[in-house]
A and B are shown apart, each in its own frame.
Chain A
Amino acid sequence: MNHAHGPKRRINRLSWLIGGAQGSGVDSAANVFARACAHGGLYVLGQREYYSNIMGEHSYYQVRVSDKPVKAIRHRADLLVSFDAETVFVHACDVSPNGGIVYDVKLETTPLDRVPTLDARFREDMRRFLEKQGVGLTLKDLLSVVAQGGVRLYPIPYDDLLQRLAEELQQPLSRVKRAVNTLAVAASTALLQYGVEWIEKALEEVFRGKARVVASNVRAAELAYDYVARTFEDDFPCRLEPVETQEARIFLTGTQAVALGKILAGCSVQTYYPISPATDESVFLESHPSIRLRNGEEGALLVLQTEDETAAIDLAIGAAIAGARAATSTSGPGFSLMVEGLGFAVINEVPVVITLYQRGSPSTGMPTRTEQGDLRFVLHAGHGEGPRIVLASGDLEEAFYDEVRAFNWAERYQVPVIHLLDKALASTSETRPLYDTHGVKVERGKLLFEEDLPGASEDGAIRRFRFTDDGISPRTLPGTEGGIFWLTSDEHDEWGHITEDPVVRTRMMEKRMQKLETAAREIPREEKLNVFGGPEAEAVILSWGSSKGAIVEAMELLEAEGFPLKFVQVRLLCPFPAEEIAQELEGAERIVAIENNFSGQLAALVREKTGIAADHLLVKYNGRPMTVEEVYEGIKRCLTEGEEAPRKVVLTHGR
């Protein structure tokens, strides 16, 4: 290896993309690549895009690699890695001018209309694009166009390499064919001059326990490295180099971050009905039924698959009434069914946690695509008026700690807590240091055990809905002697018995609502919102949830260009921190709201609660997460064009 020679190269900053038909190993290929980078001390952030389909439709995986933590995906890929024609057709135009495309040489002659899974709209656009360029309609024609723009082409004869692999391993070709994704990944890392040993280590990890599969894939990787070294000039403008670090790191997805938070909080019952993109969380939890405790004991974690989402939330509420820290996980269609149970938890003051991964809606919508469209829905879900707490995480760091918060607030304020995430966070994977659990506390609020009861117990029972100064009443668990209580979905008196008395009703309504005031008073400001950037900024970005990463990265780029910005990320949505937000927005010359939905739900909420209106709205509702480039461009447009910039800018990146 000749590190010191050759043209000037960008080191350890890369946006990489692999695609292929669903079921053909795209995920494991991306996983191998990401892990290979992670083992070498690099930071990785991945995002998975896939259809609601099991086999055949196009899926892709973007991975960004850096020697600094990465916060969001980029639209442009420096290296596009493929082993089918569709991936090249779909993504070739998104490769950065100095980037490269790894592809199967035998597919060059594939005509556009021979890729049946392409969406009709895309096919038509591509046809027009190619016709406008004055070229034919094959893959090769498209490649020639992008090559003229500076993109490097790396055709790989996968069939020949697989044939060789089959001969060497003395196995039928059909057996080794699946290794084509490893050939593709290895060809890409060979171009990046990244040592093959990192790929081998990752293969061992991804295919753990399957020695034969590991062996054949390792050999495939070697063949690819060998081919690349023999065939192409060593001039790819990016390279990856391992970085020495003492830091312990994990590699995990958004659903795993949430699951870890639940486990740490002591969640012992999780219910679910299968639904994208929430299911992975429950599956991860179900594979950890016994949790190691610091006192040397084991704690049971029940994961219960129910007949539908009404049952899912009601089982969780039943378990919470019994005393378990109970949760359920779902996305829009499931939450719609849970609204009934939510109302029960509201009126009976049951601490239950609902983890909601938003996806493209309404109705079944786009099951595997992202959106931040449910904010208004969760704030008002249910008939009538009643308290709930809603918090939204912006990244995998927050997702973990927010889940613990959700359980603490649920018990402290005896309300259902809705933890908002989305598909983009669910399918983000990243390397990060181990979560620091030192400052984490378990808070169970006014929970009474037998020894606390004397005084509260009246003839064996308690007033479960006792009127108190802060609206929160002491609670017991069934099985507690002297702690008998009644709950009812009807309006009730202090004892939990049905009442329609107008005076009691008025007080009970006020008692429930008062809990939100208590929560608003007690929850610290820094848990209600994050503020990034300096006070000298004239423009303020207002946003929430998963758009955070792209915004923070875009801000860094803009600041470097002399546009200082402030970013207010709202994390607590109910009780709404109107005053705190108003303070942050006051005096702002320009307010730009950024949301992954159609109407700018948070911006409207801020206007409703503070009277302050955003000047511009950057919204995106094509089902894809925000990329750094489009947020950067969008903000810049608002800043430079000022009054001339449209009030609403629709972002459209994504395939």
Chain B
Amino acid sequence: MIEARGLTKHYGAKVAVDGLTFDVRPGAVTGFLGPNGSGKSTTMRMIMGLDAPTRGTVTVNGQRFSDLRWPLREVGALLEAKAFHPGRTARAHLTMLAQTNRLPARRVDDLLELVGLSAVADQRAGKFSLGMGQRLGIAAALLGDPGVLLFDEPVNGLDPDGIRWVRHLLRGLAAEGRTVFVSSHLMSEMSLTADEVVIIGRGRLIEQTTIGDLLARSAHQFVRVRSPQAASLAGALERDGATVTVEDDGSLSVRGLDGPAVGEVAASLGATLHELSPQSASLEEAFMELTDSSVDYRGATASTTTPTEAP
């Protein structure tokens, strides 16, 4: 459980995080979404006690991070790619971490095995590819078997296999009842991974909601259908209350009915389907709409590019 209350961070005149209040509950993957520079990483650093909030508080399992008795056993975090000494081996990096929280040495081997780094455990980590570095970071986060996990852009730089692995890992961790908080600026990735989302823009909370709710509210949600009997299918769907648009490539965009309902209609007609796909890309649009309408958001992105506010 992570609880943020009025969390605020100023860097000089720059307001990076502005009065954030949200909860991240156990047993679910909570996506942390916002455009570049919206304050996701800053918020995560404050949760981990690395940056001190200017105002407000954040607690993990009801405690301030600095009061945790065995931090690694309670919270694990992947905050940046390659947060390890390039000259140290993967095993040495995990070993020194394990020692800080009195974790058994075999735990290091278990984690190296889990993330697939056993074969290169005694190589210097500086030679690792981005993906291998990311996996070492994930191993470090999981080392203490913590109930709360934070991941800042964990799929950055990963290949499709790696992305799929991280997705399954996050889902698995949540299924075990852990609190999983994962940031991304890609709504499409989150739609496959997260149950809930905390959406921020320019350091402010825009909305905390579920992925399903976000989807349901999206005006752009539709089902794409391809069928050799497109014309008769379109007619049947419209009779059932759907709005059907015939696209240039011959596919149908069906609004007002969900995937299963469209499938039922097609079955009752005996129509052959070549494609039946609910379009989750609409989530990206929902995200854009939300962040677009956030106060001054466009002004904010423009101002972050001015030299005075460069980090």
Q: Do A and B bind each other?
A: no
